[in-house]
């Protein structure tokens, strides 16, 4: 006798799934197949976003990107996304650790450049005066010249695309009580240069350092070197001059002399005892007893 | 000297086969799991798993994809079986009589849907797919002997429900 279960046999019978599902799966499949290539071909910037990111509407995105890069020191992230009609649909720029996004006008989405009132952004720059000069030379309108205020030097420009920038000197980073360096460790770096303004412009552009007024004339604290560092203009020896921590400054000064160096006088500073010295080859340094 | 050759990604063949293979894979899965959402989920799993398998040298074809779909189905039943195990009464009938009723295919679907996952899985592979017992055993990770015993119990459970009983 035959096995009644044989009747259960279900030969392949094609069935069309829901077209929406079929299309969705096709997309997923394409993505899975193309995945390795996508990683190298991506045009979308992989910018690390912070909690808040302004999204600007501009009339001419290409010109705006050039302006923000050349005048305000922005860095372009990736390539802009260009729409079929040639419009810039999305671009990303970073200023220091902040990102902005921008796109050309899409009136149908309510995305239009400001024309009658202007949104404002506060931007910290290495050098307010230089930035204002560059911006004005590239078509910005000067709304308020650089002036010294309680919050450092600030000035305001209106860029050619309807956005207002409150340019400001960088605020000092909040002081985190760093552990005092141990004997022999570097305590502070001072970059001594003939012209502080020239160095601020150069290294601000090159390395993105920010400068805040220091406690001596022509002296600036540098934010962005990864350590405790300052810039000092108009000094004799140029280049980096280092400050080493010692446990006992007076004992260390005696050793400096014994080893053929020149020991300076111990002075009381807000941060501890320090003395300016020269080693046995003529290189200047400071000693610091925290 | 041999010229450098670009090796085309074998996964591309999947994209070319997609339109033709999709109804076959879906048509295999839907009646076997009897649930559209589940069938879609397993269809997705099948194609996405095939990308990796194709790169590892799988022979991209519709029967090959249905083989992957069968694995996905068995995995699905295995998960279901684990979930049901705690609830199910371990009540198995001893093998009884030869059973010579005609089985109506539609009614059979309804009965299968009521079976516990391990029984449903064994009967589907053996009878709906028409695989030999040795193949069923391989899919279920059991010995042939254990698979035969499982099939016997599954048939008994099937008959009980078919005859109006409870599982």
Domain ranges of chain A: 55-169, 186-289
Q: Is the model's pLDDT at B159 over the cut of 80?
A: yes
Cα A262 to Cα A9, A253, A281, B37, distances in angstroms? 100, 8, 10, 84
Point out the domain boundary residue: B44, B63, B88. Answer: B88
Model confidence pLDDT, tens digit, residues A27-82: 999 888 876 543 333 334 456 778 898 999 999 999 999 999 999 999 888 888 88
Q: Is residue B96 part of a domain?
A: no
Point out the domain boundary residue: B88, B123, B138. Answer: B88
A124 has which bridge partners? Answer: A168
Contact residues, chain B, for A41 at CB < 8 Å: none
- The alpha carbon dihedral of A188, A191, A192, A196 has a sign of negative
**Annotation: CATH topology of A186-289:** 2,3-Dihydroxybiphenyl 1,2-Dioxygenase; domain 1 (3.10.180)
Decide: A77 and A97 in contact? Cβ < 8 Å: no
Q: How many domains does chain B have?
A: 2
Decide: A64 and A138 in contact? Cβ < 8 Å: no
Reference A290, options A267, A272, A270; nearest CA is A272
Decide: B139 and B124 in contact? Cβ < 8 Å: no
Cα A289 to Cα A22, A252, A268, A271, B11, distances in angstroms? 73, 10, 10, 9, 67
Whole-prediction pTM: 0.41
- pLDDT, residue A39, reads 37
CATH code, residues A55-169:
3.10.180.10
Cross-chain residue pair A16–B66, CB shorter than 8 Å = no
The yes-or-no answer to whether A55-169 and A186-289 have a common fold is yes
Q: Is residue B68 part of a domain?
A: yes
Phi, psi of B149 (to 5 degrees): -65, -40
Decide: A196 and A231 in contact? Cβ < 8 Å: yes
E-strand spans in chain A?
Answer: 55-58, 75-82, 88-95, 98-104, 120-125, 141-149, 152-158, 164-169, 186-193, 210-213, 219-223, 229-233, 239-245, 262-263, 267-269, 272-278, 284-289
Cross-chain residue pair B23–A18, CB shorter than 8 Å = no
Q: Is residue B145 part of a domain?
A: yes
- pLDDT, residue B154, reads 92
The residue to which tokens 């035969």 are assigned = B148
Contact residues, chain B, for A29 at CB < 8 Å: 14-15, 18, 47-48, 51
Instruction: Give the chain B residue whose CA is nearest to the CA of A30.
Output: B15
Decide: A91 and A102 in contact? Cβ < 8 Å: yes
How far A38 CA lies from chain B's nearest CA (Å)?
14
Phi, psi of A197 (to 5 degrees): -65, -45
* Helices assigned H by DSSP within A108-216: 128-137, 196-207
Point out the domain boundary residue: B88, B120, B144. Answer: B88
Contact residues, chain B, for A28 at CB < 8 Å: 44, 47-48
Q: Is the model's pLDDT at B4 over the cut of 60?
A: no
Model confidence pLDDT, tens digit, residues B146-155: 999 999 999 9
- pLDDT, residue B88, reads 46
Reference B60, options B27, B101, B20, B13; nearest CA is B13
Report which DSSP code applies to A37: H
Q: What is the C-alpha separation between A208 and A123, in angstroms, rounded? A: 13
Q: Is residue B99 part of a domain?
A: no
- pLDDT, residue A212, reads 84
| Positions in chain A whose pLDDT score sits under 70 | 1-2, 35-47, 171-178
Asked if residue B118 and residue B82 are part of one domain, the reply reads: no
Contact residues, chain A, for B36 at CB < 8 Å: 18
Whole domain around residue B158: which residue ranges?
104-167
Structure-token pair, residue B166? 């409870």
Asked if residue B111 and residue B82 are part of one domain, the reply reads: no
Nearest by CB to residue B9, choosing from A5, A7, A33, is A33
Asked if residue B109 and residue B48 are part of one domain, the reply reads: no
Asked if residue B163 and residue B120 are part of one domain, the reply reads: yes
Q: What angle do CA B32, B37, B38 make, to 5 degrees?
A: 45
A192 has which bridge partners? Answer: A232, A239
Nearest by CB to residue A33, choosing from B14, B26, B128, is B14
Q: What average pLDDT does the structure give for chain B?
A: 81
Mean pLDDT of B23-42: 90
Query: The CATH number of the domain where B124 resides is what?
Result: 1.10.10.10
Query: The CATH number of the domain where B51 resides is what?
Result: 1.10.1740
Q: Is residue B18 part of a domain?
A: yes
């Amino acid at each position: 006798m035959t096995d009644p279960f044989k009747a259960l046999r279900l030969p392949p019978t094609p069935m069309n799934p829901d077209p929406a599902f079929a299309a969705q799966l096709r997309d997923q499949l394409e993505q899975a197949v193309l995945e390795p290539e996508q990683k190298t071909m991506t045009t979308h910037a992989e910018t690390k976003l912070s909690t808040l990111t302004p999204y600007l509407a501009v009339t001419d995105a290409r010109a705006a990107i050039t302006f923000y890069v050349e005048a305000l020191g922005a860095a372009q992230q990736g390539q802009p996304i260009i729409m079929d009609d040639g419009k810039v649909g999305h671009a990303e720029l970073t200023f220091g650790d902040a990102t902005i996004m921008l796109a050309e006008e899409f009136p149908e989405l309510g995305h239009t450049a400001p024309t009658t009132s202007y949104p404002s952004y506060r931007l910290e720059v290495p050098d307010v005066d230089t930035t204002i000069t560059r911006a004005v030379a590239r078509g910005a309108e000067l709304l308020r010249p650089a002036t010294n205020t309680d919050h450092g030097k600030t000035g305001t420009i209106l860029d050619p695309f309807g956005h207002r920038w409150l340019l400001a000197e960088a605020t000092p980073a909040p002081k985190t009580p760093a552990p005092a360096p141990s004997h022999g460790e570097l305590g502070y770096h001072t970059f001594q240069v003939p012209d502080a303004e020239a160095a601020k412009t150069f290294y601000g552009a090159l390395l993105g350092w920010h400068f805040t007024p220091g406690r001596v004339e022509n002296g600036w604290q540098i934010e962005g070197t990864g350590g405790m560092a300052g810039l000092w203009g108009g000094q004799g020896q140029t280049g980096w001059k280092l400050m080493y921590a010692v446990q006992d400054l007076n004992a260390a000064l005696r050793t400096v002399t014994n080893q053929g160096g020149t020991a300076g006088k111990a002075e009381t500073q807000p941060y501890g005892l320090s003395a300016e010295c020269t080693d046995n080859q003529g290189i200047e340094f400071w000693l610091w007893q925290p | 000297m041999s010229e450098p050759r670009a090796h085309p990604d074998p996964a591309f063949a999947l994209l070319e086969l997609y339109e033709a293979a999709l109804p076959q894979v879906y048509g295999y899965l839907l009646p076997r799991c009897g649930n559209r959402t589940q069938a879609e989920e397993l269809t997705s799993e099948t194609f996405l798993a095939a990308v990796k398998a194709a790169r590892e040298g799988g022979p991209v074809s519709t029967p090959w994809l249905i083989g992957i779909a069968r694995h996905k189905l068995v995995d699905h039943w295995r998960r279901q079986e684990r979930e049901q195990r705690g609830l199910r009464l371990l009540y198995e009938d001893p093998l009884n009589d030869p059973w010579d009723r005609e089985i109506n295919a539609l009614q059979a679907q309804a009965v299968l849907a009521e079976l516990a996952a391990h029984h449903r899985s064994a009967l589907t592979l053996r009878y709906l797919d028409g695989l030999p017992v040795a193949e069923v055993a391989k899919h279920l990770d059991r010995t042939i002997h254990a698979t035969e015993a499982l099939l016997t119990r599954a048939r008994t459970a099937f008959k009980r429900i078919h005859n109006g009983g409870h599982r």
